Structure 1
Amino acid sequence: MLQSISIQNYALINQLEIDFCDGFSVITGETGSGKSILLGALSLVLGQRAEGHVLKDRNKKCIIECSFSISKYKLETFFADFELDYEEETLLRREILPNGKTRAFVNDSPVNLKTLKELGLRLVDIHSQNQNLILGSFEYQVGIVDTYAKNADILLKYQKHYNKFQILKQELRKQVEIAEKEKADLDYFQFQLEQLNEANLVENEQKEMENELETLSHAEEIKSGLFTTLGHLYEGDSSVISQLRDARTCLSQIQTVFPDADDYFERLESSYIELQDLAQEIDRANENIEFDAARIDYLNQRLDAIYSLQQKHRVDSVNDLIKIRTELESKVSKIESGDDLIEDLKNQLEKQKIKLEKAAVSLTNTRKKAIPNIEKTIVNQLVQLGIANANFKVQILNSEDFQYLGADKLSFLFSANKNGNLEEVQRVASGGELSRLMLSIKYLISSSTALPSIVFDEIDTGVSGEIADKMGAMMTQMAENIQVISITHLPQIAGKGKYHYKVYKADDEHETYSNIVLLDKQSRLEELAKMLSGADLTKAALENAKVLLDS
């Protein structure tokens, strides 16, 4: 519960510290005295966004601190998840700097605004008049039913299945889009791959064919050169080999008388043998080289095909073309196997849908089970609050699509008139009826919700007299389970509070400021009397105030 609030340099507040207690507390004060300022400060420390003009002294920072007793509310997991120090007496602090920047702390650990807000939602429910408007919200209505049904675990299980279902659905959509785009390119890829396959490319063949073509294109010139060379080496008495043969013979004749001749002979013999081998090779080469027009045509066509593919794919070698062919094979294979992936995703999605449908049915059943008691309780409360012919129904229908909160179309239907047609609450309920409806709903969930505290900001707007008295009684009953604080302008409600705080505006020699004080018994009696009769305290007003307190 909220134990205390401390405010420095906020709006009309210089410095203020006030303690709160459990049970039912009321806050009163004249219009403009600062009740909304106090509520605004509390909202800031619970994570609402700040406006720059909230600083009373624009040269100093604003500090708002709230102390909460949280030992009964099972928040240890929340603190662990956000790596915060858990303390049974937890302190929330919000600072607004003169430059407009803000800082937030939980037990002196800095936190971002989102974390502060999430924790704030678990500590205090502030019900302002504007909140009546959200009564028509689908999310709010579902939240009311689920809170009363206590099906948080069932909803969480459904949402896990729903999230997985959505992920599979998105992945399937993505793969289908990819497949459609790739299939549009498939014919082109297959055409390119077919061209490369028909080319029967072999690594390094281009250089070999280019060399062969060069040889065949100059066959006559080559044969002529080889033939002439062969003649110089081998043919006739004046050929190189013939003269070497004669020189060898001369050396052999002087070997017996000239020892060095042996060495000369061996070297000459080696040259003779080498030239003979060379002549034989040239002779074979000459025989093998023939002008082959058909082969030349084949090589030209083959090379032209390769050059054309290289130009098309903007590469310089057959090896690069082979690499592109491999890549195209992979692309085509992937596209052709895309259907298998899509089919697999469809199967996964169908299986997940079955799980989701089962979880949705369980969620719907818990809601349907809770709805009769919700309807009965709210109608009873509305009758007590003066809507004698109130009729309230929770309509639940099957939705065509799965949503994050289930597969139900849920709406609150209301009629304040006898035999009146039930319509959606936001369409037919007046402002006063909305206030009473909202109070009835808060009363309904006060025993089910884990909220430690609830603050009503003039929820009694539009009612008075006996109805106000009954609203006060309802808030008193709610306060048996949770801390209830009501900002009110009605004495019938103010008289029901266990504790009564007054917000007032005062002047000193320098400025006007707001403050709040816990009233003692006599001050409270006088405050109620003023609320009944105005500024002048009459004996009758004091007697009526005493009756309110005694009741």
Structure 2
Amino acid sequence: MLIALEVNNFAIVSELETEWQPGMTTITGETGAGKSIAIDALSLCLGERAEASMVRPGADKAEVTAEFDIRKLPNAQKFLLENDLVSDDECILRRVISNTGRSKAYINGTPVTASQLKTLSQTLIAIHGQHAHQLLSKNEHQLLLLDEYAGHQALLAETKNLFKRYQSIKKEHAQLLALQAQQDAQQQLLEYQVAELNEFALEDGEYDNVEAEHSLLSNMHTLLESSQRELQHLYEEDGANAYTIVQHSANRFAELASIDPQLSPIADLLFEAAVQIEEAASNIRRYQESSECDPHRLIEVEDRMAKTLELARKHHIRPQELYDFHQQLISQLDKISHDSARLDSLELEITATLAQYQQSAQVLSQSRHAAATELNNLISQSMHQLSMENGQFEIELAFESASSPSPIGLDKIDFLVCTNPGQPMQPLAKVASGGELSRISLAIQVIIAAKVTTPTLIFDEVDVGISGPTASAVGSLLRQLGESTQVICVTHLPQVACSGHQQFFVAKFSDGKQTHTKMRMLDQQGRVNEIARLLGGNNISQITLNNAQELLEACA
């Protein structure tokens, strides 16, 4: 519930402080006095767009602060808790606009975004403007009103989520389909290239190994011949091989070491060298035994190298890169194949998701039909109360399963009305006059507001085009609503104004330099005078005052 509003330097308001009570509060004033100024300021505080023109001329900034009692508002408390904002029994919203158009927003003293203000405001206040009846003829707005009354947010969310999933799958399917068309020619080339490389079956690192083997085989004759010659020099040549010479020197130095022990290490080194030479000779023999010139293998290796080089040149890469290139082609071909399989899978998903969506939309439609039946009776009854004694209201709903999915389901809606006996039900916009449209709109707003139970409801001159007994019925309707929730109503009708539990008066005056707007709570006599002014204009007679007193007493 709104409990206080403070406005500074907003439009033509220099300073305004108001306290608000439960029940129905009416706001009246002379034409052009700015009766809606408090509502405009409050809307700004609730997250509406800020503009530099909102700042009072000559001021640096405008500031609006609204205080709410949230003890009975669990949704508001939940929002504050989830957003780490200080929460107790009261919630204070503040909006500051500089004369350059920049704005700042605060919740309980903590800086927030205008979007956060808007989200929180939906749990605090609902504002119904004077042009609401103009939207009543639009089918999308009609569906919004019905859904608001039905309160089936979970069904709406489920249908919307399934719609989003359906759209997402359809988008992926379309993208893959377009990609597949581009890949058809590429796939044939890839299949040929992969088949050719599969047949060749080059292994990772094989080319380097083959190149090394080719070098070995092509030099094998030289290797064996040279190793045999060196074996002769080292060990097998009669009389003058390296082993015999070293062995002889080792024996001689061993003899000399008996005379001079300093020569003993030399003898040891030479004996070790002889052993090393003998071991080397053994290794050379083993190498010769295990190695042979194999011309057939050499031919095979040369062919393998030649084919590798040929394929590398064909694909404009180095031979060492051929294996990785082969793997890349396989991966590309697998992806194309996977895309084809994914297309088949997506088609099944599209069918299944569409079926789920249609089922959800059907359940949503059934809920709408049930709510529409209730609304038909309630709005028809309200029309009777608002001086449309023979009026009948009917919501026409058609579930169009063949229609393209939408986030709000598959229902086509139209508000039908009959205002005179014997006439058929016809679309609201075609048969209702401006005054009738205003009354029907007001009836719908009041009925929906009562169902939704928003803690504070603001009606900004929604009684345009209404007068006489109908105005009394409107006042009674709003006062009845005010028994269960806080209602604030800007009005120019005395019958509506006197229905309020309390009343504000808005006046505009000039000090010769600037124009000012003031807003004050009226006492009982003040209300009598204001109602009399609304009844008779500026010339207030005793009869008008008596009529005003009578109206107030009747409403009370």
Q: TM-score range by the shorter chain?
A: 0.7 to 0.9
Q: Write the distance in 2 (CA, Å) between the matches of 1:494 and 1:48.
A: 27
How big is the shift at 1:280? 7.6
1:341/1:158 CA distance change after superposition, 3 Å = farther
Residue in structure 2 matched with residue 241 of structure 1 by the alignment: 237
Query: 1:516 Cα deviation (Å)?
Result: 0.7
| Per-residue deviation, 1:295 | 7.4
User: Where in structure 2 are the equivalents of 1:107-506 lying within 5 Å?
Assistant: 107-149=108-150, 151-152=151-152, 155-157=153-155, 159-160=157-158, 162-164=160-162, 166-167=164-165, 169-171=167-169, 173-174=171-172, 177-178=175-176, 181=179, 183-184=183-184, 185-210=186-211, 241=237, 244=240, 289=293, 301-313=303-315, 315-318=317-320, 320-345=321-346, 347=348, 352-399=353-400, 400-506=403-509
Task: Give the aligned residue type for 2:334.
Answer: S
How far residue 495 of structure 1 moved from its aligned partner, in angstroms, is: 2.4
Other structure's SS at 2:131 match: helix
If the length of structure 1 is used for normalisation, what is the TM-score? 0.82
Secondary structure (helix, strand or coil) at the match of 1:406 reads: coil
Instruction: Read off the aligned partner of 2:161 and give its amino acid letter.
Output: N
Q: CA deviation at 1:17?
A: 0.9
Output the amino acid matched with 1:100. Answer: G
Which stretches in structure 1 are left out of the alignment for 5+ residues?
none
Match status 1:548 vs 2:548: no
Q: Measure, in 1, the Cα distance between the counterparts of 2:242 and 2:217.
A: 38
Classify the secondary structure of the residue corresponding to 1:376.
Answer: helix
CA deviation profile, 1:129-169 (whole Å, cap 9, x unmatched): 232233234443233323433x43xx414523641563365
CA deviation profile, 1:408-460 (whole Å, cap 9, x unmatched)? 22222234344445443345544322211111102222331121122222212
Is the contact made by 2:64 and 2:95 (CA closer than 8 Å) also made in structure 1? yes
| Partners of 1:241 and 1:275 within 8 A in 2 | no
Distance in 2 separating the partners of 1:374 and 1:361: 20
How far apart, CA to CA, are the structure 2 residues paired with 1:376 and 1:120?
31
Partner of 1:527: 530
Q: What is the distance in 2 between the residues matched to 1:509 and 1:169?
A: 63
Partner deviation per Cα, 1:331-360 (whole Å, 9 max, x = no partner): 433443445545555555555555544443
Q: Please report the RMSD computed on the Cα atoms of aligned residues, expressed in angstroms.
A: 4.0
Counterpart of 2:30 in 1: which secondary structure? coil
- Tell me which amino acid in the other structure corresponds to 1:92: L
Shift of 1:58: 4.1
- The answer to whether the Cα contact below 8 Å between 1:26 and 1:486 also exists between their aligned partners in 2 is yes
Residue in structure 2 matched with residue 50 of structure 1 by the alignment: 50
In 1, Cα distance between the equivalents of 2:51 and 2:436?
33
Cα distance change, pair 283–384 in 1 and its aligned pair in 2 (3 A)? closer
Aligned-partner Cα distance in 1 for 2:62–2:232: 115
CA deviation after TM superposition for structure 1 residue 378, in Å: 1.2
Do the aligned partners of residues 465 and 202 (structure 1) sit closer, same or farther apart at CA in structure 2, a change above 3 Å counting?
closer
Distance 1:277 1:424, change over 3 A: same
Of 329-338 and 515-524, more deviation after overlay is shown by 329-338
Task: Provide Cα deviations, 1:146-198, integer angstroms capped at 9, x if missing partner.
Answer: 3433x43xx41452364156336524642563366255343333223222212
1:368-423 Cα distance to aligned partner (Å, 9 max, x none):
22222211221222233233443321111113344333332222223434444544
| Counterpart Cα distance in 1 of 2:209 and 2:377 | 96
- Evaluate the alpha carbon distance shift between residue 497 and residue 168 of structure 1 in structure 2; reply closer, same or farther with a 3 A threshold: closer
* Residue equivalent to 1:66: 66
1:472-491 deviation digits (Å, cap 9, x = unpaired) = 22222222222222211122
Aligned pairs, number = 533
1:276-307 Cα shifts (integer Å, max 9, x gaps): 8899899989x9558x6x87776555334322
Q: Describe the shift of the 1:339–1:59 C-alpha distance in structure 2 as closer, same or farther (beyond 3 A).
A: same
In 2, Cα distance between the equivalents of 1:121 and 1:233?
101
Mean Cα displacement is larger for which, 87-96 or 12-21?
A: 87-96
Give the corresponding residue for 1:12: 12
Please give the secondary structure, in 2, of the residue aligned with 1:87: coil
Where does residue 508 of structure 1 map in the other structure?
511
Q: Secondary structure at the match of 2:500?
A: coil
Maintained 8 Å contact 1:248/1:268: no
Distance 1:510 1:421 in 2: 60
Q: How far has the Cα of 1:5 moved from its partner? A: 1.3
Structure 2 counterpart of 1:458, which letter? E
Query: Does the aligned pair in 2 maintain the 1:446–1:481 contact within 8 Å?
Result: no
SS at match of 1:156: helix
User: Conserved in 2, the CA contact under 8 Å of 1:385 and 1:467?
Assistant: yes
Residues 166, 276 of structure 1: alpha-carbon distance in 2 compared, 3 angstrom cutoff: closer
Query: Within 1, Cα distance between the matches of 2:87 and 2:462?
Result: 34
* Map of 2:262 onto structure 1: none
Structure-1 separation of matches of 2:414 and 2:239 = 121
Is the 1:161–1:352 contact (alpha carbons within 8 Å) kept by the matching residues of 2? no
Q: Secondary structure at the match of 1:500?
A: strand
Amino acid at match of 1:72: K
Residues in 1 aligned to 2:114 and 2:158: alpha-carbon distance in whole angstroms: 26
Partner Cα separation in structure 2 for residue 377 and residue 63 of structure 1: 42
| In structure 2, C-alpha distance between the alignment counterparts of 1:274 and 1:140, rounded to whole Å | 102
SS in 2 for 1:91: strand
Tell whether the 8 Å contact from 1:529 to 1:545 is kept in structure 2 after alignment: yes
Shifted more, 38-47 versus 501-510: the winner is: 501-510
